[in-house]
Amino acid sequence: MSKTPDNSKATTDGHKKKAHSSTAPTGGSGGGPATAAPAPASDPLDRQLTPEELEIYPERRGGRIHKNWVERMVDREDYNKIICEKRVNDVIESSPLVKLMMSAMKSHGCEVNIRRHISCECCSDAVTGGYDPQLNQVVVCQNRIWNKGIIRGILAHEFLHMFDYCRTKFDFNNLEHIACSEIRAANLFHCSMISSMLLGTTRPWNVAKTHANCVKSKAVGSIMAARKDLSPDEAWSIVDKVFDKCYNDLEPLGRRLRANSKDMEWVYRDRFHYNYDSI
């Protein structure tokens, strides 16, 4: 399952949020999976959540977070869920970037039903959100969000994974597919000069490669969060193998967003050039 680890970094929305190293889905290049000779895709429903994933998302399969009697007395879970759902609604109504992602999926035959495809739930402290390909749902962690900027980043990132799944029907058990979607998400939504400096991927002698290095670093972190048995060398090898093709796949935005710019408004305005429907 794609995760959104808890690393507060600068984002294209101009807010601080958990750098969405969503760790499961993956994307493609120009309409097809951006991978080298992909194996036949397996049904994602065949893959059950691991114990680690169930620990991070305890409510994904009808479970609950275990609380002691003090926590139960001061519990605001129902209230937090209502607030989360309201904020999600507000972001969908107001964010050009989120609306663009939804219109792109609608145009590919995967229209988003807010009540069906977005779920506010309690999660562990390790994540702020994720994408569950088994249920085709975006999880927004109601106990880990503080403002609409965080929700905006979660929805944009996880909708990209949902878009990749809709567009290419890729295999969530294929690490190259996972790496590709993580590369695309970091490329389109997260990596800027500021965030790469915070990540330590920018040096005076490699400014020209700053963005690519940031994208690679985030993708590697996401893959390792999803697959605990992978070594750093193995994760880097997978990312390097698919990087060029996936890095140059800018669908559905058509451009890399610049921080503190009007790019988000412009990509939504330009959606008709890609035959995307209005939302």
Q: Which amino acid is at 202?
A: T
CB 18 within 8 A of CB 6: yes
Residue 211 lies in a domain: yes
Counting the structural domains of the chain, the total is: 1
Q: What confidence tier does 39 reach under pLDDT thresholds 50, 70, 90? A: very low
User: Across residues 13-42, what is the average pLDDT?
Assistant: 38
Domain that holds residue 56: 2-274
Alpha carbon distance 209, 207 (integer Å):
5
Whether pLDDT at 7 is above 50? no
Give which of 89, 204, 64 is closest to 151, Cα–Cα.
Answer: 89
| Catalytic machinery residues | 158
> Which pair of structure tokens corresponds to residue 178?
């996972």
**Is there a domain that residue 197 lies in?**
yes
C-beta atoms surrounding 273 within 10 Å: 8
Q: Are 77 and 122 in contact (CB under 8 A)?
A: yes
Task: Give pLDDT tens digits for 47-62.
Answer: 455 655 655 665 665 5
Q: Is 279 inside any structural domain?
A: no
High-pLDDT (> 70) share of the chain, %? 62
Alpha-carbon gap, residue 212 to 201, rounded angstroms: 9
Strand ranges inside the chain, DSSP E: 2-5, 8-10, 16-18, 28-29, 32-33, 118-121, 127-132, 137-141
Q: What is the pLDDT of residue 50?
A: 64
* pLDDT score of 18: 34
Predicted pLDDT at 21? 37
Residue 160, in any domain of the structure: yes
Give the least confident one: 160-164, 218-222, 243-247, 265-269. 265-269
Average pLDDT along the chain: 74
Instruction: Return the closest-CA partner of residue 102 out of 262, 278, 241.
Output: 278
Q: What is the mean pLDDT of residues 18-39?
A: 37
For residue 170, the model assigns a pLDDT of 77
| Long-range interactions of 209-214: CB distance < 8 A, separation 24+ | 211/187, 211/256, 212/243, 212/247, 214/186, 214/190
3-class DSSP state of 69: helix
Distances 160 to 143, 165, 199 between C-alpha atoms, Å? 23, 9, 22
d(CA 127, CA 62) in angstroms, rounded, equals 19
Asked if residue 256 is part of any domain, the answer here is yes
| Structural domain contains residue 218 | yes
- Read off the pLDDT band of 262 (50, 70, 90): confident
Residue type, 142: Q
Q: Is the pLDDT of residue 88 over 70?
A: yes
Tokens of residue 150, six digits: 């965080």
The pLDDT assigned to 41 comes to 44
> Which residue in the block uniquely carries the two structure tokens 């209502």?
82
CA dist., res. 245 & res. 167, Å (int): 16
Q: Is the confidence at residue 257, as pLDDT, over 60?
A: yes
Instruction: Output the pTM of the full model.
Output: 0.71
Residue recorded with tokens 């996401």: 222
User: What is the maximum alpha-carbon separation in the chain?
Assistant: 56
pLDDT tens digit string along 165-206? 998 877 888 999 999 999 999 998 888 655 554 445 555 555
Position 191 in a domain = yes
Q: What is the pLDDT of residue 75?
A: 59
CA pair distance 213, 191, nearest whole angstrom: 9
